[in-house]
Structures are given as C-alpha cells and as structure tokens.
Amino acid sequence: MRIFEIRSLTVLIVSLILSTNSLLIKAQNNSDFLWYDYSLPMEERIEALVNSMTLEEKITQLLDESQEISRLDVPRYGWWNECLHGVARTGRSTVFPQAIGLASTFDVELIKQIASAIGDEGRAKFNLAIKNNNRSRFAGITYWSPNVNIFRDPRWGRGQETYGEDPYLTSRIGVAFVNGLQGNDPKYLKAAACAKHYVVHSGPEAVRHEFNAEVSMKDLWETYMPAFEALVTEANVEGVMGAYNRTNGEACCASPYLMTEILRNKWGFDGYFVSDCGAIKDIYEGHGLAQTAEEASAMAIKAGMNLNCGSSFESLNDAVKNGLLTENDIDKAVAQLYKTRFRLGFFDPEENNPFSKIGPEVVGSEEHVNLALKAAQNSMVLVKNKNNVLPLKKDLRTLFVTGPQAANAEALLGNYYGLSGNTVNFLDGIVKKVSVGTSVNYNLGQMPYQNNANPIDWTTDKAANAEACIAVMGFTGIMEGEEGGAIASPEKGDLVNARLPQAQIEFLKTIRSKGNNPLIVVITGGFPVIIPEVMELADAVIYAFYPGEQGGTALADIIFGDVSPSGRMPFTVPKTIDDLPAYENYAMEGRTYRYMTKDPLIPFGFGLSYSSVKYEATGLETSGNMIELNVKVSNEGKYNTEEIAQVYIASPMAGKGHPFYSLKDFQRISLHSGESKEVKFILDKEKFELVDEEGLRFIPEGEFSIYIGGSVPSDRSLELGASKPIGFRISPNEIN
C-alpha cells in the first residue's frame, strides 16, 4: 500500500473515532438531561428543563429569537415565520393565491390540501436548515398564520391576508388551513399554526399602535370572535397572536379578559400566546397603559403572554426584582413555550418523528405546482360577461394585452410571500394559450397610480382595434398592505376610497371610446376594489386578486375556456365608500352583506360561470335536533362547471338589529354539462342562534327563512345573473 493511502486511511479512522466519541459524549451528556428522555411524560421533561435554567436564561427563552443555552444543550430557536399562502421569506417555495383568493374558492378540502403542502415544504426546509446549522429568523416552523380577522371595511390594506368579511366562511377556511398545516399525527405537529390578530383588529394601519377599537358585546361575539373560537376549539391551533390595538380600552396583548378569561379558561387554549411584533412597546409608548417596558411586560405576562416578538421582555429581570412579577410567573410562560417545541419534536430523536423524513424534493414539486394552479383557477371571480363574450377563441386573429399589472409579477404575490422561480404572469399565460397564428401585442399603456408623464399615446388605438383587448388593471402590494410594506401608499397601506385609480379608469374610457371590440378587464388586488365605471365600460370583468405563481396560466385557462370560472366574492363591493360607516367605527351596523342597507355593486358570494345552474328543492326532514335539506342542482349549460351552493338563514328578527342574512353552510359541486346532483345540507339548532346585546346566544320565536343558491339571496345578485335561489321556511323551536 502506498504511503499516502496509509496516511489517508489513518486520517479517516481517526476522524471516525473522534466523531463517534463526540456522539457518545453528547449522548452521555443528554442522558443526564431528563428533557431528552423521551420515555418520560412531556410535562415532566419540561419541568426538569425549566427548573434547570437560571432566571436570566428563562427570560432569553421568552423572546422570539430564543437564545442557545449551551450548558443545557438547548439550541437557539427563531419563532417568527410566515406562511399565509406558502412558506414566506425563506427563499424557494410554492406560492399559492393570497389568503383572500383562497377564501374565494369556498373550497374547504382544497384549502386543507394547500395548507398540508405548505406544511410539508416548511418541514422540508426546516429539516435541511437544521442540518446546515441555519437557525436564523424565518428558518423555524412556528408559522404566524393564518390571519382570521374579519375584513369589515374595504379601506384596510391588510384585508388581503384574511378570508373575507363573513365569520362562518372565515371559520371554515381557517380551521381547514390549521388542520392541514399542523398535520394529523397523534404526537407531533408537522408545523405550528397561529391565529392572528386577536382580536377586533382591521385598521386603520396608520394608528394601529395607539388605536382603541370599541365594540359591543353583540358584535364581539357575533362577528369578531367566532373564527378564533373555531380555530382554538375545533382545530387546536398551537399559537395565538395578540393585536397591536386596544379593544374596549384593554391592550390586546395584556388583556386578562381576552387572554385568560376567554382564551385559556373558556375555550381551553393550551398553546402559546405571542405579541405582534413591537406590541408590548405599544402598551407604554402608544396606549399609555404603562410607564415603562418592565411594567408593560409584567402586565402582558400576568395576562397570559408567553412570547414577545420584540425586545421589551428583556426588562423582565427588573420586573421580578421590583416585585412586579415572581419567578414562578416566568416559569409558567416558559413552560408553555416548550410545550410547542416538544410537540414539534425538537427534543426527540429524528427517527421518532415522521415529519423529520420529509425531504427537499417536495418544495416546488409538480404536485404542489398543480395545486397552486387549481387554487388560482378556482379563486378568480367573473362578475360580468356581457353577451357571453367569454370565453374567447384561442385562434382569434389579433389580440392586444395592456394594463399596468399585465406583466407585473408583483400582481401575483400580495404580501407575506415566498419565491418560487416559477411564476407565470398574466401576459405570459395569455401568450402561451393562444394560437401561434394569433397576432398578440402588448403595451403597459398606463402607469398604475398616476397619470402618464409622457402624453404620447401608442396604446389605446391598437387596443381598440384588435379583435379583443385584455386590460389587466388594479393594485399590487406596493399600494396596499401592512404599515411599512406598501411603499407607494400615502396611507401606510390603507386605501382612502377603495376605488380603482382615476388614471386607470380614464385609460379604459379612452380604449372604449375608440372601438367596440370585446374589452375584458382583469382587476388585481386583495380588497373590494370599487369599479362602477369599469362595470359599465367593460364587456367582461374578472377579479383575479393575487393568484400566486400560476396566476397567469389560470387566467388564460378561464379567458379561453379551458376552465369555467367558479370563484365567489368573499366580500361585498359597495358602489361607493360613502355607503359605509366611518373607517374607525368598529360597529357592524351598515357593514358587510349581513348589515348593509345600501345596494352593493357586487354582492358577497356572487360569481358567474360559463354555464347556467338551476336549484330545485327536493325535500326537508327533521331528525332529533337536526334539519336536513335536500336540493337538486343542475348544470343546464354546455360547459362543465363547479358550482358553490350556499345556505343563508334569515331570522324573524332580520333587519331589526340582527343580520338580514347569515351564511351557514356551503358546498363546492362539480357538474358536467347536463348533469344534476342531489345535495344534502344538515343544519343543527346552533345554526339558528342569534346574539343579543350581552353577547349571549338565543333562538327567537317564529319562522326562519332558509335560502340555497349560488350567491347571497338579494335582488342585486339576480340582476347580475346569479341563479334564482330556493327557499324554505321553518321554526327551529319546533325541533327537539
């Protein structure tokens, strides 16, 4: 054997011995640490770990950047991560439609599949990050998603992160998301979801650090609480994040009523509570409820806070020294955090945890890309289709594509997004779909939020004279979003009038004035963009929201007829912002389809397809305390389609301080051309409950009306082309 081979072999043997010794030493050390003994109950392991820490060490664990405790073999962990519509802020991942687009699918099973895919990708990235010793911010698997605040006002720039204006829809989509993300293993979480922002939080963004949201007990329990309650009691969500604002005078991150009495005691929440980032600082700087960081931090800990996103909890040592807290208070907060870390499997051998086996091949996989495409297809909402101008032929002679968002990847993403390297913008999707023989031309044509600096117009004549024109208008995250993210917004992300910018409207008017070719307008954005002029000017209008990485392909599939549109509006679009109460007013009176007295531009739950769907009642039965409604849904058109059958209930007190209608159930149904399906809805007595001024539930005497159809049962829905709903009348008090 050659001398250098002997040396290489010797080096290899020595390395193996050292490596083995290192593992043996670590195993020996860990054997001294009860928290690594996975044969013991979790609570016993956590108690041993917390008791082994000094006060200073415990405090370092209460910050979102939890520090390493090397002497106890506790690694550093960054709690903050996001996954509203895909793993965000950590590089490559599949980008699904923004949350408001997920809601517009009205598809609970699809949302669960998407969230499961997100959980798989997050766990795969985490597994690899740990191997690379990457424990930086956004590398963890405690995701601060979903956002289940109620989108009560179109002016809120973060409404795009929510599931819309309805408590029931928000609850069902939110529960599905949490279940998919966290997985169904009996012992381990795939990832940890977090319900935010608890509670009564939806702007204004500019004053969120000092704002007091005043709300009645009726509105609190009827509108703002149900989604949080469902995520805690049904989905066992692992985390809850407190909002920046006050609610009825109490800071949401230091409220004994919200955090202890309701969340822990009434709902039985057994996860961790985290502040929104910097919210503890707001308690003493914005709200004036404390004088110092240590006072505010002590208030938060006593109310049930476990984790501070920020640095205010660095003052907790002084808070203990000055008698504002005891070390036992700190122990309880730390122990609760470690429940989450143990449930994620951080202190168990990898081979015990099934999620440790998920590899990087799932990230951006073909299966996940196809899921993103399906979600984008199902999310887009067709709200006008004059003379059935859509779908367009793929072999038309000439096509002009224009508009500020047509080739803009930002219009796919919204906020809190990942990066896939696989995005298809609207222009690309359209060009790939049409015939090679079609002459396609494109010009941006109009600046998004202001008049063009150059008055020379090379666009509108060509757009007006093509066989068809597709204009992609609307917004991106630079104008609507969170406080500091919307860099083009003078309102820190909010929308003053929620209208399409006047420059974009004038651009469309000019195109229309020069020709009568089919004008298809696509609206991007995550809020109820108010477009009365566009509804008059355009032949077809599609709300695309922020449809994710496959948005361009999905839009082309719809416009050219490969897919019939099936999305439904997750919010009401008013005719003017003047039809709504003041933005700062959190009362529900006059808001959303449940309480608006003014006729909307586009109703909640509305959306057209390329087919005609008919509803027929086939039976009503009662059994125990259940009501069974049977309906035949028929596709009488020539296109295959997916219909969203929606159940609304109007009480005997409708319009008398109580909702005109409330969504109580829905189903997405696939129907081939000419096909009929029997659909069953089962309603229990709870579906008929109202909420009184004290926040208590009751069922009034008298008959209730039940409506089943493809939109909220209003005259405006029928005027725009919705199927005629069917109705039932019943008195739930007659049921056992």
What would the pLDDT profile of 714-734 be if each residue is shown by its tens digit? 999 999 999 999 999 999 877
Domain extents for the chain? 1-32, 33-356, 366-571, 613-734
Are 410 and 419 contacting, i.e. CB atoms less than 8 angstroms apart? no
The arithmetic mean of pLDDT across residues 278-283, rounded, is 98
Distance CA 713, CA 691 (A): 22
**Residue 735, amino acid:** I
Residue in 535, 723, 514, 504 with CA at minimum distance from that of residue 632:
723
Q: Which of these CATH numbers, 3.40.50.10860, 3.40.50.1700, 3.40.50.2000, 3.20.20.70, describes 366-571? A: 3.40.50.1700
Q: What is the pLDDT of residues 632-691, one digit of tens each?
A: 999 999 999 999 999 999 999 999 999 999 999 999 999 999 999 999 999 999 999 999
Helices 426-433 & 551-559, crossing angle to 10 degrees? 50
Q: Is pLDDT of 107 > 90?
A: yes
Q: What is the pLDDT of residues 412-455, one digit of tens each?
A: 999 999 999 999 999 999 999 999 999 999 999 999 999 999 99
| 3-state DSSP percent of the chain in helix, strand and coil, to 5 | 35, 20, 45
Using CB atoms within 10 A of its CB, is residue 642 exposed (0-12), middle (13-18) or buried (19+)?
A: buried
What angle (nearest 5°) sits at the alpha carbon of residue 342, between those of residues 339 and 348? Answer: 160
Specify the pLDDT at position 736: 63
DSSP assignments along 359-413, one per residue:
-GGGTT-HHHHHHHHHHHHHH-EEEEEGGG-PSPPTT-SEEEEESTTTT-THHHH
Distance CA 726, CA 618 (A): 10
The arithmetic mean of pLDDT across residues 61-72, rounded, is 98
Rounded mean pLDDT of the chain?
A: 95
**Entry field: residues in the chain:** 736
Q: DSSP character for 266?
A: I
- Residues contacting residue 664 through CB under 8 Å, at least 6 positions apart: 168, 647, 648, 649, 683, 687
Specify the pLDDT at position 30: 59
**CATH 3.20.20.10 matches 613-734:** no
Specify the pLDDT at position 31: 56
pLDDT band at 11 (very low <50, low <70, confident <90, very high): very low
Specify the pLDDT at position 625: 86
The pLDDT > 70 percentage for the chain reads 96
Structure tokens that stand for 40 in this block: 């013991």
Catalytic residues: 276
Q: Is pLDDT of 326 > 60?
A: yes
Residue in 610, 669, 611 with CA at minimum distance from that of residue 635:
611
Specify the pLDDT at position 683: 96
Q: What is the pLDDT of residues 359-382, one digit of tens each?
A: 999 999 999 999 999 999 999 999
Specify the pLDDT at position 19: 39
Are 338 and 49 contacting, i.e. CB atoms less than 8 angstroms apart? yes
Distance CA 94, CA 362 (A): 10
Q: What is the pLDDT of residues 290-310, one digit of tens each?
A: 999 999 999 999 999 999 999
**Residue 565, amino acid:** P
Q: What is the pLDDT of residues 253-276, one digit of tens each?
A: 999 999 999 999 999 999 999 999
Supply the Cα-derived Rg of the chain in whole angstroms. Answer: 27
pLDDT band at 624 (very low <50, low <70, confident <90, very high): confident
Q: What is the pLDDT of residues 457-505, one digit of tens each?
A: 999 999 999 999 999 999 999 999 999 899 999 999 999 999 999 999 9
Are 56 and 62 contacting, i.e. CB atoms less than 8 angstroms apart? no
Q: How would CATH label the architecture of 33-356? A: Alpha-Beta Barrel (3.20)
Residue in 438, 442, 424, 668 with CA at minimum distance from that of residue 556:
424
pTM exceeds 0.85, yes or no: yes
114 in helix, strand or coil? helix
Residue in 526, 525, 543 with CA at minimum distance from that of residue 534:
543
Specify the pLDDT at position 732: 83
The arithmetic mean of pLDDT across residues 567-584, rounded, is 98
Specify the pLDDT at position 25: 37
Specify the pLDDT at position 682: 96
Distance CA 723, CA 563 (A): 19
Q: Is pLDDT of 6 > 60?
A: no
CA distances from 361 to 124, 365, 563 (A): 8, 7, 29
Q: Is pLDDT of 397 > 60?
A: yes
